[in-house]
Structure 1
Amino acid sequence: MTPIEVNPHSANWLGLWTLYSREVRRFLKVYTQTLMAPLVTTLLFFAVFTLALGRAVETIGSVPFLEFLAPGLVMMAITQNAFANTSSSLVIAKVQGNIVDTLMPPLNAHELTFAYAMGGTTRGLMIGSIIVLVMSFFVPFGFDNPALILFHGFMGALMLSLFGIIGGIWSEKFDHMAAVTNFVVTPLSFLSGTFYSAERLPELGKFLAHINPFFYMIDGFRAGFIGQSDSNILTGILVMTGINTFLWIVSYRMFKTGYKLKA
């Protein structure tokens, strides 16, 4: 069953808010799994790299290694959790057969996309804020440019939320979603400069890093804290804006046509 279309010139604000609230309450209800677990995982990453490389690699450029590492770990947690929220919500609804309850109300494709995407973005930004707060007890955050932090945090979370929508609609079972996570999201996250500077890579490595969209979100986010970047910030902003626009259109079309959502 495809969504019921309404007058495109009038927004269903109540329905939009209801769906968004449902998505937020869904992950808050199991906060130990959706908020606390990512916090513990990120702190473990931080502890392992601190113990393993903290003395061997004291600085990257002129920035202490731990101050360089921390923002990358925060962004990695933001994006992975934003993706998990939208993808799991849609896959579970499809597997359980209750996706029809979401498609029947008078919500158009843009409203469905917005509500799901903002639910995932909210989870990503929430876990990111918690991690920054807790990690600030162990490493000093500079907050050199708060605007860059907010922009890249939001756009990164939105990007993975939209990608989660696409992956969730495409997937017919949990194995499909696991494949997307294991072979797309995780590799792009780990090869994006989270743990290292792209400037230290050979030429081929630099080229591969600069065609990875995850690189720009992490590089810009980190620059907001430490005041240094490995790429042109404006280029990163344009890349992220373009990719998010494309992902939004794809997500919209999937809802609009009922792709793999028809009963």
Structure 2
Amino acid sequence: MSQNETGFQLALGERRFGRVNWLGLQTLAGREITRFLVVWTQTLLAPLVTAALFLLIFNLAIGPRRGDVMGVPFLQFLAPGIMMMTVIQNAFANTSSSLVISKVQGNIVDTLMPPLSGLEILLGYLAGAMVRGVVIALGIACGLAVVLGLFPAHPVLALLFVTLGAVFLGGLGIVAGVFAEKFDQMAAITNFIVTPLAFLSGTFYSVAALPPVLRSLSQVNPVFYLIDGLRFAMIGTSDAPIGLSIAVCLLASCSICALAWAMLQRGYRLKP
């Protein structure tokens, strides 16, 4: 190949290390994982303590007077919802905080300047969210096994829904982090979008007990299917068919990741 041809290909953007920059992707993913591991008391221990407090408070306030829900004790019904809520909140926080902090501190250029495509940046950020979500889920699962004697009825499905939850909210965190320019905007997105999605999705109740209008609203919330699917995987019962939950979660995760990919590829609100 002539020197002119080589220069022409490089001008078109062909990367000399192949179709995928594995070293760059690995480096970005490692950075995002290390980022939450170095402050594990805040990013891993604190969510585990919060989940335990939720279960303790509900047990003290409601548990003794509440009968079985969907054929299982109330705490066993509640546990999968608490687990998924904790996973998705931390997956969202991992990607959104990383982007917003980089933008505010002005070092987002360190991520944009290396030869990484939009897809590689997306996968690097999602890796951190997925690892953090899975580690938290495993920690909660171990606690549930020791304290409640609750073991997953379908372990593979449980891992699938935890991963999908981390991917969906990790992707949403990237979209929010790209859109937000400062911390108060990020706080508004968290308070008015993420928290309602988590709390109004069957975390603490069965949607079958809701009035028809509220039940219909809950069933268009993707987080409902994440929580309901994990509940089926943990205790073997759910409000929606498990096949429908998997399909909705896959579609929601792919859709939000496609949007995040497009924003990163264009450099929307990232490049001057």
TM-score by length of 2: 0.93
For 1:38-91, what per-residue CA distance to the aligned partner results, in whole angstroms no more than 9, with x for missing partners?
111111111100001111212102111111111111111110000000000000
Q: Which moved more, 1:192-201 or 1:79-88?
A: 192-201
Structure of higher RCO (CA pairs closer than 8 Å, 6+ residues apart): 1
Measured in 2, the distance between the counterparts of 1:227 and 1:6 equals 50
The unaligned stretches of length 5 or more in structure 1 are none
Match of 1:79 among 83, 88, 101: 88
2:156 to 126, 147, 164: 147
Q: How many residues align?
A: 260
CA contact (8 A) 1:5 1:108 kept: no
Q: CA deviation at 1:148?
A: 1.5
1:10-61 deviation digits (Å, cap 9, x = unpaired): 1000110000000000000000110111111111111100001111212102
Task: Using the TM superposition, name which of 133-142 and 102-111 deviates more.
Answer: 133-142
Identity of aligned residues (%): 49
Asked whether the 8 Å contact 1:83–1:163 carries over to 2, the reply is yes
Task: Assess if the C-alpha contact under 8 Å between 1:72 and 1:222 holds in 2.
Answer: yes
What SS does the corresponding residue of 2:184 show, helix, strand or coil?
helix
What are the Cα deviations for residues 111-169 of structure 1, in whole angstroms up to 9, with x where unaligned?
00011011111111111111111232221213211121111111011000000000000
In the TM superposition, what is the alpha-carbon distance from 1:242 to its structure 2 partner? 1.0
Aligned to 1:184: 193
Say which SS state the counterpart of residue 146 (structure 2) adopts.
Answer: coil
Question: What residue is the counterpart of 2:4 in the other structure?
Answer: none
Task: Tell me, in whole angstroms, the C-alpha distance in 2 between the residues paired with 1:62 and 1:122.
Answer: 33
- For 1:162, which of 161, 167, 171 is the aligned residue? 171
Match of 1:56 in 2: 65
Cα deviation 1:198-243 (Å, max 9, x = unaligned)? 1111111210110111000000001001111100111111111111
Equivalent position to 2:245, from 233, 236, 253: 236
- Tell me, in whole angstroms, the C-alpha distance in 2 between the residues paired with 1:232 and 1:131: 25
Asked whether 1:194 is paired with 2:183, we answer no
Kept after mapping to 2: 8 A contact 1:167/1:177: yes
Q: Check whether the contact 1:109–1:256 (CA below 8 A) recurs between aligned residues.
A: yes
User: How far did residue 6 of structure 1 move?
Assistant: 5.1
**Aligned equivalents of 1:76 and 1:65: distance in 2?**
17
Aligned residue type for 2:219: H
Distance 1:237 1:252 in 2: 22
- The structure with the largest alpha-carbon Rg is 2
Alignment counterpart, residue 220 of structure 1, candidates 222, 229, 238:
229
